[in-house]
Amino acid sequence: MSKENPTIMIVEDEVLLLQAITKKLKISEMDVLSCSSGQQAIDYLGSIDEMPDAIWLDYYLKDMNGLAFMQEIKSNPAWTNIPVLVVSNSASPEKVHNMLGLGARKYILKAEYRLDEIIAMIRDFIASDGTNEPTPSLTPTATSIPVSTPVVESVPTANTDSTSEQASVPTEELPQI
């Protein structure tokens, strides 16, 4: 699919959050495939010819967890090259290790980033062809994580400048993650 307007499949079971992510991605000139369950995403992948550029996966879904979803992705050769970015509320070292071991390319904690920041990470990740490999260590050693490095745990950013550039998209009506 187009790198200029990449297609992102969102797998998120919280409807309001799914709508907010979808809206923000579309405003960011990305095409969106919204799925409210893991099974819906698997069924959709099985019915399309052109795969998405990346999958935004919530780890905790009502019908399956991220591990079960990644096992489904890994079981189909046509899907194994789709970069999966896990965006979750929790990240134990074991969970992160298991997800990266099954092929997830990044693991991001929702609470540590604004939606605009996660979207920028996804865009940069797709622009790099998803070639950056998961970090073997589960404990980051820096106080700031460059966008091109897989995120495996929460790390506070070193930038405390409140005048840093913000996206020009209004966010007041959208829930923050």
Residue with tokens 């990044």: 106
Is the whole-model pTM more than 0.85?
no
User: Residue 166 sits in a domain of what CATH number?
Assistant: 3.40.50.2300
Residue 153: domain span:
1-177
pLDDT of residue 3: 64
How many structural domains is the chain composed of?
Answer: 1
100 close to 134: Cβ distance less than 8 angstroms: yes
The pLDDT of 93-99, averaged and rounded, is: 92
In this predicted model, what pLDDT tens digit does every residue of 11-22 receive, in sequence order?
A: 999 999 999 999
- Contact (Cβ atoms closer than 8 angstroms) between residue 27 and residue 3: no
Q: Is residue 90 within 8 Å of 107, Cβ to Cβ?
A: no
- Using DSSP's 3-state secondary structure scheme, residue 165 falls into coil
pLDDT in tens, 37-79: 999 999 999 999 999 999 999 999 999 999 999 999 999 999 9
Average pLDDT, the chain: 77
SS3 104: coil
Cα(73)–Cα(52) distance, rounded to whole angstroms?
A: 13
